[in-house]
Structure 1
Amino acid sequence: MKFVSWNVNGIRACVKKGFLYYFKEQDADIFCLQETKLQAGQIELDLPGYYQYWNYAERKGYSGTAVFTKQKPLHVTYGLEEDVIEPEGRIITLEFEKYFVVTVYTPNSKRDLARLAERLEWEDRMLAYVQELDSRKPVVLCGDLNVAHQEIDLKNYKTNRGNSGFTTEEREKMTTFLNTGFVDSFRYLYPERTEAYSWWSYMNKVRERNIGWRIDYFIVSERWKNRINKAEIHAETLGSDHCPVYLSLDTE
């Protein structure tokens, strides 16, 4: 199975920058988006052979997620609790016969860390949610998790220590998550690879100089770690301030 995850930072803008070319080229079985930034009816994507699932934020032009899948899921849920409206459209869960797929756009704790407490609460709820899924079937979780877990995951770790996305608290939450039975697929295959980033500031020449952060992930239930075939970061793919990340996984 081929999986792709991409924070497109506005799907309408990304389509104008070549999204559909990349989408068709990858021919993924499951393709997940974060930060779609639209409401129902604002775009119609012609994706033959794919079922489309969208979770829109109530606020216009903000957040949002989507999943395109060749195989129809048994069940689809939106948010962390099926009967509770999640106004920012940050999570979609697809249940298949043998596993779950969860795509998530984790809240940013903000430059001044004004949203850090809320973010940490989110992390606790997210972990409990995914653990419950994992107790039933293996989980493939992907998306923009808005944290560089280790020093190796961003270019300037010394000057960014304590900043949003690289606070001790956020990094510890990721460590806790992984220690409860999950694997960061990229680091599982490439524990020491440097210069591997998935997000770059729009500031002048930053991407060209590869001054980036790795904040986009595929995380897999630990009991499936030996099924991971490939984990890639497609840094050459433009269209957003993030690039797509890719996972090849044996799900049979």
Structure 2
Amino acid sequence: MKIISWNIDSLNAALTSDSNRALLTREILYNLKNEEPDIIAIQETKLPMGGPSKKHKEILDENFKGYDYAWLTSKEPARKGYAGTMFLYKKSITPDITYPVIGAPTTMDFEGRIITMEMENFYLINVYTPNAGSDLKRLSDRQIWDEKFADYLCKLNEKKPVIATGDFNVAHREIDLAHPDTNHFSAGFTDEERQGFSNLLARGFIDTFRLIHGDVLGTYTWWAQRVKTSKINNSGWRIDYFIVSNSLKDKIIKSEMIDSGQRQDHAPILLEIKE
């Protein structure tokens, strides 16, 4: 089975806008189908509260023939048109899809951050982890999220193996970003967030990229949009992951990034796993 995951930073814009950035995003999105994935997990869709519009659906149906989709958007009391997740999956797949509430603080459970697909032999979770925010204003809430999300995955793992993918908003180790020395107090690389990810792995999960590639340097999934030279200089962070239950370790075939060309922000990631 082949699964792709991507924080698209607005599926809404990618499908409907003609800005240069939207055109780049749309090209990447449509090219993902050439990989012939069984499933695409998308984060940060920024769709309206009511979900895909008629125009969105027409575009998806035209460009992803043979695929169904499931979505979750941000709703009150959270901000509208914020966060959001989506699965695109082949119509030959017939999963049981749920939208879990994990008991996260503030409005996090209303921001459209988790969709779960139950397959015959495993669970697949699409997650968009909350950012700790500017001045780390949301860090304490983020720590609670990390605990609640880990509890949720472990509960699923008691029933069948788990694959969790998405934007985890943390560079786990110093080798997961280009400039660790200057970022220890930056959102996504605080000791607290890194420890939260370590705690999750310690409860029975594996970072598939490190499993396959070891301690390789310089491979990232995100480059800051606001820094024009971030991608040219490869000043990136690896904050997007496929993690799996330990029991799936021997079934991982491939875990890697997909080239996103000159477009900064997130790059898609890919997992191939034996069924």
Q: State whether residues 144 and 216 of structure 1, in contact with CA within 8 Å, keep that contact through their aligned partners in structure 2.
A: yes
State the TM-score, normalizing by the size of structure 1: 0.94
C-alpha separation in 1, matches of 2:264 and 2:118:
28
Which residue identity does 2:125 align to in structure 1? Answer: V
Match of 1:37 in 2: 46
Relative distance call for 1:9 and 1:104 in structure 2 (3 A) is: same
Task: Give 3-state SS (helix, strand or coil) of 2:209's partner.
Answer: helix
C-alpha separation in 1, matches of 2:261 and 2:99:
28
Match of 1:99 in 2: 122
Relative distance call for 1:248 and 1:92 in structure 2 (3 A) is: same
Deviation above 2 Å: which 4+ runs of structure 1? 12-17, 71-74, 79-82, 235-240
Task: Identify which range, 114-123 or 43-52, moves more after superposition.
Answer: 43-52
Task: Give 3-state SS (helix, strand or coil) of 2:134's partner.
Answer: coil
| Residue in structure 1 matching 2:246, options 214, 218, 222 | 222
Match of 1:236 in 2: 260
1:60 is aligned to 2:60: no
Relative distance call for 1:80 and 1:240 in structure 2 (3 A) is: farther
C-alpha separation in 1, matches of 2:100 and 2:262:
29
What is the alpha-carbon root mean square deviation over aligned residues?
A: 1.8
The structural deviation recorded for 1:155 is: 0.3
Which residue identity does 2:87 align to in structure 1? Answer: V
Q: State whether residues 200 and 207 of structure 1, in contact with CA within 8 Å, keep that contact through their aligned partners in structure 2.
A: yes
Cα deviation code 1:123-159 (max 9, x no counterpart): 1110110001011011110000000000000000000
Which residue identity does 1:55 align to in structure 2? Answer: L
1:249 is aligned to 2:273: yes
C-alpha separation in 1, matches of 2:245 and 2:28:
29
Q: For residues 45-84 of structure 1, what are the structure 2 equivalents within 5 Å?
A: 45-46=60-61, 47-58=64-75, 59-70=79-90, 71-81=92-102
C-alpha separation in 2, matches of 1:239 and 1:10:
14
Length, aligned pairs only: 250
| Residue in structure 2 matching 1:211, options 218, 229, 235 | 235
The structural deviation recorded for 1:50 is: 1.3
Task: Identify which range, 242-251 or 64-73, moves more after superposition.
Answer: 64-73
Match of 2:186 in 1: 163
Q: State whether residues 73 and 94 of structure 1, in contact with CA within 8 Å, keep that contact through their aligned partners in structure 2.
A: no
**Structure that is richer in helix per residue:** 2
Q: State whether residues 224 and 264 of structure 2, in contact with CA within 8 Å, keep that contact through their aligned partners in structure 1.
A: no
Match of 1:198 in 2: 221
Task: Give 3-state SS (helix, strand or coil) of 2:265's partner.
Answer: coil
Bigger RCO of structures 1 and 2 (CA < 8 A, at least 6 apart):
1
Match of 1:2 in 2: 2
Match of 1:114 in 2: 137
Match of 1:140 in 2: 163
| Residue in structure 2 matching 1:24, options 33, 47, 50 | 33
Match of 2:177 in 1: 154
Unaligned runs of 5+ in 2: 16-22
Which residue identity does 1:25 align to in structure 2? Answer: N
Unaligned runs of 5+ in 1: none
C-alpha separation in 2, matches of 1:21 and 1:91:
23
The structural deviation recorded for 1:21 is: 2.7
C-alpha separation in 2, matches of 1:86 and 1:107:
10
Q: State whether residues 109 and 164 of structure 1, in contact with CA within 8 Å, keep that contact through their aligned partners in structure 2.
A: yes
State the TM-score, normalizing by the size of structure 2: 0.86
C-alpha separation in 2, matches of 1:122 and 1:94:
20
The structural deviation recorded for 1:81 is: 4.8
Q: State whether residues 3 and 247 of structure 1, in contact with CA within 8 Å, keep that contact through their aligned partners in structure 2.
A: yes
Match of 1:13 in 2: 13
Cα deviation code 1:64-117 (max 9, x no counterpart): 0000111434411113359xx931000000001111000000000012111011
- Identical counterparts, % of pairs: 40
